[in-house]
Structure 1
């Protein structure tokens, strides 16, 4: 698993979008039990915090010490620094595993082996993410140019799985059809610019060139977007049941 997000962990928590309440309600509807959940690649603990509202206990893991340091704190969340593919958890203990905007960084085969070891029979696995946002047409043009032309060569190869809406990933579970969801916000231009600066390709560009690539489009972005506007994130959501047992 790659660690692209230890730097600017505070910004990641401040600017990254969340998941709609409908995601958690849909998961709850299909749960067999809600004693223990595992949020893998927890990052800032955003999803772990929501799970803690309806689970007795949540184990939240990440390889980034800095991300965990900035994570949501709840009395029933236990954070630990562990790789997704190799944990210290016992066999057959979790009722649910979630991984949000992190799965594409994992070694799929090793991760799934660990998932099937740790999940109870008929427990759920939820893979969450969000695709490239859209806004007003003029802003979309600026963002598409930035995404493809300026920082395009700096995206990790794994980014393609998000661009493909997680539909091309292996998913060896009994799949449950999920609803199509959009998360919408009215963001200020400052929030939008801050969000762009959390992108992994932006960080890669900065490290290689010593320059912030967002500056190349910031003027056009401010002109097209205005002081505030709507942004819409397509939610990627796959849900499955552990087949063993």
Structure 2
């Protein structure tokens, strides 16, 4: 797994969207037990924090110690720095394994092998993420140009799995289900710009060119967005696989 988010991990927690309530209702509907869950690639722990309201115990892991340092604290969440593909968990330990906006970074064969080892026979793996957001016609035109043309060459190859909603990933399980949701948030322009600055391709561009590509669209976005909060819609996609 690649570590893309150790740097500026506090901004990742501040500017990235949270997942909608409907996603957690969907997760609960798929469960056959609520003893232990593993939130893999937990980041700032936003998913682990919600799972802690459902499960007796939550194990939350991440490759980045810096991400975990900024994670949500709850008494029944245990954080550890571990790679997704090889953990110290026991065989058949978990009722649920979640991966939010991170599966595309994994070695799929090794991770799915680990999932089958640590997941209970009636357990479930649910991987989810969100693709390119949309706001309105004017903003969307600016962002699509930014996404595909300005920083397009700086996306990692793995980004294609987000763009196709994990459809190209083969889940080696007997039963695989897919479900889509939408998340709507009201953001001002400063929050939206902060979100853009968390994109991995933006960081790659900065590293190579020594300047921030967001600056190229900042004036146009400010003019189009104005001083109001606008509704930003994120398409949420999920893949549910039974152990």
Hey, what does 2:135 align to over in structure 1? Answer: 135
Q: Tell me the distance in 1 between the aligned counterparts of 2:62 and 2:84.
A: 7
CA drift of 1:91 comes to 0.4
Counterpart of 1:53?
53
Deviation, structure 1 residue 178 = 4.3
Q: What is the deviation of 1:174?
A: 3.6
1:24-173 matched pairs, under 5 angstroms: 24-173=24-173
1:149-204: CA deviation from partner (whole Å, max 9, x where unpaired): 11111000000000001111111224354443100011010000000000000011
Do the aligned partners of 1:175 and 1:238 also contact (CA within 8 Å) in 2?
Answer: no
List gaps (5 residues or longer) in structure 2: none
Distance apart, 1:99 and its partner CA: 0.3
Deviation at 1:56, TM superposition (A): 0.3
Mapped contact 1:136–1:225 kept (Cα < 8 A): no
Which residue in the other structure is 1:4 paired with?
A: 4
Asked whether the 8 Å contact 2:205–2:212 carries over to 1, the reply is yes
* Separation of aligned partners in 1, 2:182 and 2:201: 24
CA distance in 1, matches of 2:160, 2:4: 16
Distance 2:126 2:220 in 1: 38
CA RMSD of the aligned region, Å?
Answer: 0.9
SS of 1:125's equivalent in the other structure is strand
Deviations 1:42-100 (A, max 9, x none): 01101000100010000000010100001111110000000000101110110000000
Partner residue, 1:240: 241
Distance in 1 separating the partners of 2:119 and 2:61 = 15
CA distance in 2, matches of 1:94, 1:202: 36
1:117-157 C-alpha deviation (Å, 9 max, x unpaired): 00000101000100100011000010001001111110000
Q: Give the whole-Å Cα distance in 1 for the aligned partners of 2:179 and 2:110.
A: 28
- Give distance in 2, aligned partners of 1:188 and 1:147: 20
The list of structure 1 runs, each at least 4 consecutive aligned residues, that deviate by more than 6 angstroms after superposition, is none
Q: Is the 8 A contact 1:161 1:168 kept in 2?
A: yes
TM-score w.r.t. structure 2 length? 0.97
Find the aligned partners of 2:145 and 2:184 in 1 and give their Cα distance: 22
